[in-house]
Amino acid sequence: MRDVPGPVLTTDGASPAGHDPTSGPDGAATTTRPVESRPERLAWFHCFAGIAGDMALGSLLDAGADLSEVTSLLYRLPLHGWNLSAEPVLRGGIAATRAIVDVTDDVVIRTHSHIVALIEEARLPERVASRSLQTFAVLAEVEGRLHRRPPERVHFHEVGSHDTVIDVVGTAAALEVLGIDTLCASSVATGTGTVRGAHGLLPNPSPAVVQLLRGIPTWGRDLAVELTTPTGAAILAALGSAFGPLPPMRVEATGFGAGSAEIDGLPNCTQVVVGQALVDSASRGQPVVLLESNLDDATGEVLAHAVEALLEEGAHDAWITPILMKKGRPGHTVSALVDPALVEPVRRALQAETGTLGVRGLVLERWPSSRSSGVVAVEGLPVHVKVSPGRVKAEQSDAARVSARTGLPLREVLQRAEWAWRHHGERTTDGSHEGRGAAPPDPPTPA
């Protein structure tokens, strides 16, 4: 194991010197954050061979999370008949740690409610309990969707066993021992073929894994091995804040968590990189994907319709840029700014509506200003407005409708709507003034 500076926990939950304990619901000390502020600490999982619960836990132990501190937290669970050990192994010639849970008293099937009760009864540190509950919550939601039943009534099979509970809570405990504030990951590798589950043979990746990885970049290796398990995918889906290459950080340690078997030609392990963020999470932008395609044979009508289709599929914004293509041909670039979770439907719409032979993408960041919306009345008719710091903008379509019904010029409707918001706040759609008494008079008509 590698030595990494960071918060430590005593086995009875007391906070060592230099740390500021905060009471949980039961009054016990539950946090390990030091009094003085410290840089944000990151853990980046490199899932080149997928990820499983034991691989995530093993990688954190290999990166320096002390096994005795992790197990002291796990012993708080009202769960008996298990033992956690860390075994040094080689996977594809890489030194790794395998987290092994030996079980002597296992209950195969538990409900989500049962597992929630186990975690809540354990009096775990706040972030350990929260991260564990989040992971099982996303598992319950996905299993409920797949089996068409409410999440609280979901019966866990493999993911309700002793070893899965220890893997999930142990991973949350190891993150806390290392003082990890933010978890992120690379794109996630999956296998192919079939895997055997409680309900028989299932496609690989399993339906649960596919659902859990929605919105997370993933790709498949041509290996008939379950590289990513539901537990591993749930940890990323619940706790991951960003997905992509190694983020800007000052590396302090790295570790490899081994899978149970050797795979020919591929180190069967998950890597974790631990360190200090060079850019605080509050300063990092919102991840966004720029999709683009160059066209030299589309009419103006087709281009305009394509922009509308991209926006309808959920793009943040879409636009057309005139360009000069090869051999001096005039053309256009169709661009769309998209949330990573909506890349696929927007890409399909771009290809379908323009007939392009290819779409390119670029991962970017954006820093959107805070904004809100409201409704004001002009001549008794509702007009929606968007409000951001120092700016109010009336919805063009609403203003055009009011202009057509009243005969007022469009520019006057826009001015009146924006004036109404700045001076009197929100008004209801029937024209009355909300929360400010009587409706104010409309502003004087501009000269």
**pLDDT 10s digits, 159-209:** 446 788 999 999 999 999 999 999 999 999 999 998 876 666 889 898 889
Identify the band that residue 387 occupies on the pLDDT scale cut at 50, 70 and 90. confident
User: Is the Cβ–Cβ distance between 62 and 237 less than 8 Å?
Assistant: no
CB atoms within 10 A of CB 206: 20
Q: 336 lies in a domain?
A: yes
Identify the band that residue 282 occupies on the pLDDT scale cut at 50, 70 and 90. low
Q: At residue 9, does pLDDT exceed 50?
A: no
Query: Which of 258, 277, 296 represents a domain boundary (last residue)?
Result: 277
Residue-wise burial string across 18-27, b where 16 or more C-beta atoms lie within 10 A, e elsewhere = ebebeebeee
* Same domain, yes or no: 259 and 219: yes
* Same domain, yes or no: 347 and 321: yes
* Same domain, yes or no: 347 and 232: no
* Same domain, yes or no: 438 and 343: no
Q: At residue 404, does pLDDT exceed 80?
A: yes
- What lies within 8 Å, CB to CB, of 182 at 6+ separation is 40, 41, 42, 43, 241, 242, 277, 281
**What value, to the nearest 5°, has the Cα angle with vertex 113 and ends 107 and 114?**
30
* Same domain, yes or no: 100 and 120: yes
Q: At residue 16, does pLDDT exceed 80?
A: no
Q: What are phi and psi of 252, to 5 degrees?
A: -110, -30
Q: How many domains does the chain have?
A: 3
CB atoms within 10 A of CB 152: 11
**Alpha-carbon distance 168 to 174, whole Å?**
10
Q: At residue 26, does pLDDT exceed 60?
A: no
More confidently predicted of 193 and 435: 193
> What is the mean predicted confidence (pLDDT) over 85-98?
95
Q: CA dist 434 to 27, 344, 357, 381, Å? A: 44, 42, 52, 15
Of the chain, the end-to-end C-alpha distance in Å amounts to: 78
Extract the tokens encoding 367. Answer: 């820093």
CB atoms within 10 A of CB 173: 28
**Residue whose entry in the numeric block shows the structure tokens 């009146």:** 416
* Same domain, yes or no: 217 and 74: yes
**Alpha-carbon distance 77 to 114, whole Å?**
12
The two beta strands, 182-185 and 240-243, are parallel
Give the total residue count for the chain: 447
- Quick one: what percent of the chain has pLDDT higher than 70? 79
**Chain segment 327-342, per-residue pLDDT in tens:** 889 999 999 999 888 8
- Give pTM, 2 decimals: 0.60
* Same domain, yes or no: 253 and 106: yes
Identify the band that residue 442 occupies on the pLDDT scale cut at 50, 70 and 90. very low
Q: Which amino acid would we find at residue 22?
A: T
* Same domain, yes or no: 106 and 167: yes
What pLDDT score does 105 carry?
64
**Alpha-carbon distance 48 to 221, whole Å?**
10
> What is the mean predicted confidence (pLDDT) over 134-157?
74
User: Is the Cβ–Cβ distance between 359 and 293 less than 8 Å?
Assistant: yes
Q: Please name every residue paired with 242 in a beta bridge, in sequence order, or none if there are none.
A: 184
- Per the prediction, the chain carries an average pLDDT of 83
What pLDDT score does 197 carry?
67
